[in-house]
Structure 1
């Protein structure tokens, strides 16, 4: 399944001046980010640089202090493909109104993006199938039969249809993460977000998960991926953004940033990570 038959360069994500502090610790210092439709952007950088906070802000799980986020393609063709219609812009520098209005806006943001978490975040008491259809049925109010049929197709795609009645504790870490990816795809988002999708996996399970993500990239899904897998980022990402201290230090084509970075801080980080692997 491909999100679109013809990929344009229309932005699906526009971030302007995003800021966020936790008490006295400022983790985002005016982040700008553009992701064209059908492109993959990899966020790399040391722990604490703000990468995960960006993802959580894009999925309505974190409330930024300032800046704006626009998620969604504006074209009619995109509206036919994805569950949410058109683009949504939230200006966090302005008041979002009442608690109810804020909740509605963040819910609309989540309707346009889907998150694949580092630690799977599956419901332990629900089966694989129940985990996958939870969002489409309970949140998007889609007919259960339709959601089940779509979920079974997606599970078959990643080789897990026979596990649809299993519970998460019966699966390996790699299988759980593939279920997490299927759960995200079942929401038919305009933007896929991956937060270190392989960092919790045993080394022998990493390739299966990265293979699924690479297939999605080849199909034209719009994605933002936080990763420490530099070889994977070089093969999959159209652009790599290196962050440190809550700011973007360097950005550019994956081949340039990861093979011949311009900034000394990027050079040191890439050299260290490549040495560790």
Structure 2
């Protein structure tokens, strides 16, 4: 039976994804050198670090949008054990992609489709689920984020924060095991950030498994189970948020946090 779209899969501590030695280059530029990451069910991992440190590439690799040049990705529950140092066929990458859903920086909604049409497109066309079932679930999800009344609106008629909440609903509608957020508030006006972070916090409280690239350090401190600081394509430091934010061990981490948290 498929998982309930309104509540997450069971929040047990089993491993959803285990990543070792993830590597990726674009031309002669090494973006990821050797990244290790474990995502356990019901846990939130936040990736922080300067722009260009490889955070987004990690998420895109987990979602199958990028093909790493090396590293091993295991998904025990799905029977996946992928070694990217060798050939990986499209069917295997698609199975990896099916485990997660991505929420992007720029919403990426289809401008010619209504809110409802944007949400049901994936479940109907990709997952081939019954239309009536998908619509009923979409309405429940939209109601959760306060947007059911805007289901017939087009993206251009919504604020940036509303569009991003639709993006989150679109991800949830796919019933993923893992939610990936790529700086979901970076394109929003400051007054709209809180609504999106509130939805994300609610999802974390409900036990959704999440990997979040963010510069919202207060969110990472309050919501994450583990924080990874990336710099120059490597995980320079990792640990519980209370330690990372109060007693970082690496000088580079300390300087990064001081710069972002320095008052104007």
Q: TM-score range by the shorter chain?
A: over 0.9
Find the residue that maps to 1:194 and give its secondary structure: strand
Aligned residue among 46, 49, 57 for 1:45: 49
Match of 1:107 in 2: 94
User: 2:106 pairs with 119, 132, 138, which one?
Assistant: 119
Alpha-carbon distance between aligned partners in 2 of 1:205 and 1:95, rounded to the nearest angstrom = 43
Matches within 5 A, 1:185-196: 185-196=172-183
Specify every segment of 5 or more residues in structure 1 that has no aligned partner in the other structure, as ranges: 75-85, 97-101
Partner residue, 2:9: 4
Do residues 91 (structure 1) and 77 (structure 2) align?
no
Contact 2:9 2:177 in 1 (8 A): no
- Corresponding residue for residue 78 of structure 1: none
Question: In structure 2, what is the Cα distance between the partners aligned to 1:112 and 1:155?
Answer: 22
1:175 matched residue in structure 2: 162
Structure 2 residue 249 is the aligned partner of structure 1 residue 244: no
- Matched with 1:207 is 194
1:33 paired residue number: 37
**Structure 2 Cα separation of the partners of residues 178 and 89 of structure 1:** 33
1:103 CA displacement = 2.1
Deviation at 1:4, TM superposition (A): 3.4
Secondary structure of the residue aligned to 1:4 is coil
Q: Report what 2:3 is aligned to.
A: none
Trace 1:13-32 onto structure 2 (pairs within 5 A). 13-32=17-36
- 2:179 and 2:151 map into 1 onto residues whose CA distance is 23
Deviation at 1:276, TM superposition (A): 5.7
TM-score in terms of structure 1 length: 0.91
2:218 matches 1:231: yes
Map Cα deviations across residues 248-272 of structure 1 (whole Å, 9 max, x no partner): 1000001110121111000000000
| Aligned equivalents of 2:239, 2:125: Cα separation in 1 | 40
